[in-house]
Amino acid sequence: MISLLPEDCLIDIFEYLRNDFKSLNSCVRVNRIWNESAISILWSNPWIIEEVNEKVKGQGKQIELIDIYISSLPQKSKNFLQQKGIVIPKFSQPFIYNYTSFMRTLNISYIEDCVWTWVTNQTNNSVRDFIQKVELIILHLLQLILKESGIRKIIAYYISSNKATLPQLVDILTKFPEFGTCFSHLQEIVCDSTLSIIPQVFEKLIPYSKMIKRIVIKKYEDSRELSNLIGTQAGLQELLIYHENYNYLIPFAKQEVFKGMILQSKNLLRLELYSFDFPIHTLGEFENLEELKLFRYGSSFITPESLAPLATISLKKLRKVSFHNWVLMHLESFANFFENTNEELREIVIRTNYTIADRQNTGKLINSIGVHCPKLVTLEVPGSPEDGHQLKTLLESCNKLQHISIYNINQKNKKNLKESEEGFNENLLQILTRHSSPNLNRLSISHIEFSMKDIESFLEYRIKRGEF
């Protein structure tokens, strides 16, 4: 029966198992058709072909991997390396497949690490001899990869003391521009833009790579080349930029990268920015956003005027949103923002590390979410003991909620106020007991005190409903 599965179905199944290396390895052994389909996926990202916990085993896999790629080099390259004192590995039988042609992920850092380990097992006369061998092997392997494969994803970090790969990549593309077609179908870049060579890499990619869908900058440094790479894509969908220095907010509107990002504003579906003083008024230009995350998006001196545009911005396709700042201010602006989201939001996270300047508006925020976000699944918001009525409205409206987190930043107001305030017939936990959806499977309430009786009642009620 398994042999009758159409090849396109097999490919879909194996794609689903892409990160399940043990299962894919088992599929390789079924028959020839399964072997051909699974091998191409296994070798598309050979740098993670098997997850290994033990360091010694990991090094063994690195050596085997480089053995295979060096054995795939043209004879001219092998002869040259042999003349430099490098022992070329020998296999008893020729390879069935051209494994290099399957490569779709180019992990710059891991190439360096693997080659470093491989050369360590060669005879080396000196440190200089060692470094020279590493650089020569990387050069010839890069030439092989650029000639034989079609790269879809680049990962560029430095994890070893040798820093040869990126400069050699730039050098190859400068001398042999035809090799750049290897990146004509590039879809994703994950890199560290603080590397001094990385702007040159971006510049070399721009003529060939126009279809990138996802750019992730783990360590950010501004450059015209990065801005151009972002701005020249035909349809960039995801942009994630992380700035490491949490003690300093970069004024994002003054960055070169901001210019490139604005050019993609109509295309972007996902935007995540960390530690940038973000111009909130520009959010309206990102009309097709489905996911927005701003972590430390403004200073503690952020004004009502700077957040006021939220009240008029309409992101109708937004499904996930996260605002995380050291100090949350002007919650009323967020409440107004949710009125214009077309009821499509599935996840809302509004988080602060320290304090909320206008905690009197937590109820208004919760009420707005309850009225305008009926499809909500995940919610994390500030709240106070006085927000019982608003929480009840939210729970009755958002019956798909699975995860709820409510935190009270006002440490002086931990106790539930139902006993001291008129009109409070239920506290927050009682409301959750009586009105929460059966779908609720995770609940967190912090810095609000409840009696043991209320906690027991909540747990007993959930048990009766078969939810524990």
pLDDT in tens, 46-58: 887 544 444 444 5
Do residues 241 and 252 lie in contact, with contact meaning Cβ atoms separated by under 8 Å?
no
Which pLDDT score is estimated for 417?
Answer: 44
Do residues 123 and 85 lie in contact, with contact meaning Cβ atoms separated by under 8 Å?
yes
Which pLDDT score is estimated for 357?
Answer: 63
Do residues 186 and 153 lie in contact, with contact meaning Cβ atoms separated by under 8 Å?
yes
| Structure-block tokens of residue 258 | 């901001």
Which pLDDT score is estimated for 437?
Answer: 83
| Structure-block tokens of residue 296 | 């430390």
For the cut 70, the answer to whether the pLDDT of residue 418 exceeds it is: no
| Structure-block tokens of residue 186 | 């590039």
Percent of the chain topping pLDDT 90: 49
β strands within 329-402, DSSP E: 347-356, 378-382
Which pLDDT score is estimated for 328?
Answer: 67
Do residues 297 and 266 lie in contact, with contact meaning Cβ atoms separated by under 8 Å?
no
3-state SS assignment for residue 403: strand
User: What are the phi and psi torsion angles at 403 (to 5°)?
Assistant: -130, 125
Residue 324's nearest CA partner among 354, 350, 292, 357 is 350
What single letter denotes the amino acid at residue 344? E
3-state SS assignment for residue 435: helix
Q: What angle do CA 373, 375, 376 make, to 5 degrees?
A: 70
Measured between alpha carbons, how far is 233 from 302 in angstroms, rounded to an integer?
33
Which pLDDT score is estimated for 189?
Answer: 97
> CB burial class (10 A; 0-12, 13-18, 19+) of residue 44?
middle
Measured between alpha carbons, how far is 380 from 347 in angstroms, rounded to an integer?
8
Comparing 3-12, 100-109, 118-127, the range with the smallest average pLDDT is 3-12
Tell me the mean pLDDT in the region 95-107. 92
Comparing 44-53, 260-269, 366-375, 447-456, the range with the smallest average pLDDT is 44-53
5-9, 20-24, 405-409: which is most confident: 405-409
For the cut 70, the answer to whether the pLDDT of residue 1 exceeds it is: no
H-assigned helices in 264-308: 304-307
Measured between alpha carbons, how far is 334 from 307 in angstroms, rounded to an integer?
8
For the cut 80, the answer to whether the pLDDT of residue 38 exceeds it is: no
Q: Which residue has the higher pLDDT, 445 or 328?
A: 445
For the cut 60, the answer to whether the pLDDT of residue 233 exceeds it is: yes
Tell me the mean pLDDT in the region 180-197. 94
Measured between alpha carbons, how far is 225 from 212 in angstroms, rounded to an integer?
15
For the cut 90, the answer to whether the pLDDT of residue 13 exceeds it is: no
| 449 DSSP 8-state letter | B
Tell me the mean pLDDT in the region 406-424. 54
* pLDDT, tens only, 57-67: 457 788 899 99
* pLDDT, tens only, 279-317: 988 999 999 999 999 998 776 556 677 788 888 899 999
